[in-house]
Amino acid sequence: MRAVVQRVSGASVKVDGRTVGRIGKGLVVFGGIQKGDTPVDVEYVAKKVSSLRVFEDADGKMNLDCVKACGEVLVVSQFTLLGDARRGSRPSFSMAEEPERAEELFMLLVNEIRKRSLSVSTGIFRRHMEVELTNDGPVTILIDSRKTF
């Protein structure tokens, strides 16, 4: 499983012009499910997301996780994180998991993050979404359960 995590001062996601998820200060997590991913991969990413110390403490150091910073999380499915553009100009998405299994694991990710005392909003799986966010820092972290980067 791959995730791009961004620290934000605010974010929202719309489907068909209607806001379906919104957060204030917190983290936006774009998650992509790879073929062969299991609940172990989901657990790894959920643990990393919830424990990332990317919020500033009283001394201005990135030392607080999202819970301690009283932040929220917006999780958005994004199969294009599995895109492979090494050959040609059109990315291959053959590494992305089939939609039914991917949705199951994506919802598991959302629930695993919620279990860690975080308020979580989401987009809608397999729908065209418009995501607006204000990256704070900017701070962007890449997570891969298979540790390929």
Q: What is the C-alpha separation between 8 and 125, in angstroms, rounded?
A: 22
Catalytic residue among 19, 38, 80, 134: 80
Q: Could you tell me if 69 and 55 are in contact, meaning their C-beta atoms sit under 8 angstroms apart?
A: yes
Is there a catalytic annotation at residue 93? no
Catalytic residue among 34, 79, 106, 122: 79
Predicted local distance difference test score (pLDDT) of residue 124: 96
Predicted local distance difference test score (pLDDT) of residue 149: 67
Strands (E), 16-128: 18-23, 26-32, 55-56, 62-64, 72-77, 119-122
Q: What is the C-alpha separation between 102 and 126, in angstroms, rounded?
A: 10
Catalytic residue among 6, 34, 55, 78: 78
Res 25 pLDDT > 80:
yes
Predicted local distance difference test score (pLDDT) of residue 81: 96
pTM for the full predicted model: 0.96
Is there a catalytic annotation at residue 34? no
What would the pLDDT profile of 97-139 be if each residue is shown by its tens digit? Answer: 999 999 999 999 999 999 999 999 999 999 999 999 999 999 9
Instruction: Enumerate domains of the chain plus CATH numbers.
Output: 2-144 (3.50.80.10)
Average pLDDT over residues 43-53: 97
Average pLDDT over residues 88-101: 96
99-114 vs 39-51: helix crossing angle, rounded to 10? 40
Supply the mean pLDDT for the chain.
Answer: 97
**Tokens matching residue 147:** 């540790």
Is there a catalytic annotation at residue 55? no
Comparing C-alpha atoms, which of 49, 42, 43, 45 is closest to residue 66? Answer: 49
